[in-house]
Structure 1
Amino acid sequence: MGRLIPQPVIAVVADFLAINETHASLDSLFAYADAPGEPPLGSKHVKALEWLRRINKESEEPLTILGRLIENHMESELPKNAEYEWEKKKVDFVNKMPDLLGRYGLQYITGGYITDGSSIASLSLKEAIEKRNTPAVEMEFTRAMENLHTDPREAVSAACNILESTFKIFIADENLPIPAKQDLQGLWKVVREHLGLDTKAIEDEDLKRILSGLYSLTDGIGSLRTHASSAHGAGRKIYNLKPRHARLAINAAHTLTMFILESWDEKKK
Structure 2
Amino acid sequence: MHPPERIPTPIIGLLSQIFPDRYTVAGLTSLFQMSGAPDPVPEGSKSVKVQSWLRQTNQLTSEPLRVLGAILDDFFSMEVENRSYWSGESEQVQKLDAEKQRVREALSANGLTFIPGGTITKGGAVPTLSLDENVKKHGLASVDIEIKRAFTMIEQDPHQAAQYAGNVLEATLKAYLDHKKVTYKSGDTLGDLWKLSAEQIGLRAADWDNKDLKKIASGLHSIVDGIAHLRNNKSGAHGRSEEQRQNITIKPRHARLAIHSAHTVAAYVLELIE
- TM-score range relative to shorter protein: 0.5 to 0.7
Looking at structure 2, the residues matched to 144 and 253 of structure 1 have their Cα atoms a distance apart, in angstroms, of: 11
Please name the residue that 1:256 is paired with: 265
Looking at structure 1, the residues matched to 100 and 156 of structure 2 have their Cα atoms a distance apart, in angstroms, of: 24
Maintained 8 Å contact 1:195/1:264: no
Q: CA deviation at 1:182?
A: 0.6
Name the count of aligned residue pairs: 162
Looking at structure 2, the residues matched to 181 and 127 of structure 1 have their Cα atoms a distance apart, in angstroms, of: 29
Unpaired segments ≥5 residues, structure 2: 1-86, 91-96, 105-114, 117-128
Maintained 8 Å contact 2:179/2:273: no
The alpha-carbon distance between structure 1 residues 198 and 229, as it changes in their structure 2 partners (threshold 3 A), is same
One-letter code of the match for 1:189? Answer: K
Specify which of 188, 203, 208 is matched with residue 202 of structure 1. 208
The alpha-carbon distance between structure 1 residues 157 and 200, as it changes in their structure 2 partners (threshold 3 A), is same
Q: CA deviation at 1:190?
A: 0.7
Maintained 8 Å contact 2:151/2:161: yes
Looking at structure 1, the residues matched to 100 and 231 of structure 2 have their Cα atoms a distance apart, in angstroms, of: 34
Quote the sequence identity (%). 37
Looking at structure 2, the residues matched to 249 and 215 of structure 1 have their Cα atoms a distance apart, in angstroms, of: 14
Looking at structure 2, the residues matched to 193 and 126 of structure 1 have their Cα atoms a distance apart, in angstroms, of: 25
Maintained 8 Å contact 1:147/1:155: yes
Please name the residue that 1:130 is paired with: 136
1:244 aligns with 2:250: no
Deviations 1:108-133 (A, max 9, x none): xxxxxxxxx99xxxx92122212111
Question: TM-score normalised to the size of structure 2?
Answer: 0.52
Specify which of 86, 89, 107 is matched with residue 8 of structure 1. 89
Looking at structure 2, the residues matched to 181 and 218 of structure 1 have their Cα atoms a distance apart, in angstroms, of: 17
Please name the residue that 1:45 is paired with: none
Looking at structure 2, the residues matched to 101 and 153 of structure 1 have their Cα atoms a distance apart, in angstroms, of: 36
Mapping for residues 45-124 of structure 1, pairs under 5 Å: 102=101, 124=130
Q: CA deviation at 1:154?
A: 1.7
The alpha-carbon distance between structure 1 residues 205 and 181, as it changes in their structure 2 partners (threshold 3 A), is farther
Question: TM-score normalised to the size of structure 1?
Answer: 0.53
One-letter code of the match for 2:239? Answer: G
Q: CA deviation at 1:264?
A: 3.3
Q: Secondary structure at the match of 1:145?
A: helix
Looking at structure 2, the residues matched to 210 and 162 of structure 1 have their Cα atoms a distance apart, in angstroms, of: 21
One-letter code of the match for 1:124? Answer: S
One-letter code of the match for 1:8? Answer: E
Looking at structure 2, the residues matched to 178 and 126 of structure 1 have their Cα atoms a distance apart, in angstroms, of: 25
1:149 aligns with 2:155: yes
Q: CA deviation at 1:262?
A: 2.2
1:233 aligns with 2:239: yes
One-letter code of the match for 2:89? Answer: P
Maintained 8 Å contact 1:179/1:187: no
Looking at structure 1, the residues matched to 261 and 252 of structure 2 have their Cα atoms a distance apart, in angstroms, of: 14
Q: CA deviation at 1:179?
A: 4.2
Looking at structure 1, the residues matched to 212 and 160 of structure 2 have their Cα atoms a distance apart, in angstroms, of: 34
1:220 aligns with 2:229: no
The alpha-carbon distance between structure 1 residues 152 and 102, as it changes in their structure 2 partners (threshold 3 A), is farther
Looking at structure 2, the residues matched to 170 and 260 of structure 1 have their Cα atoms a distance apart, in angstroms, of: 7
The alpha-carbon distance between structure 1 residues 175 and 148, as it changes in their structure 2 partners (threshold 3 A), is same
Give the CA RMSD over aligned residues: 3.3
Maintained 8 Å contact 2:135/2:143: yes
The alpha-carbon distance between structure 1 residues 227 and 195, as it changes in their structure 2 partners (threshold 3 A), is same
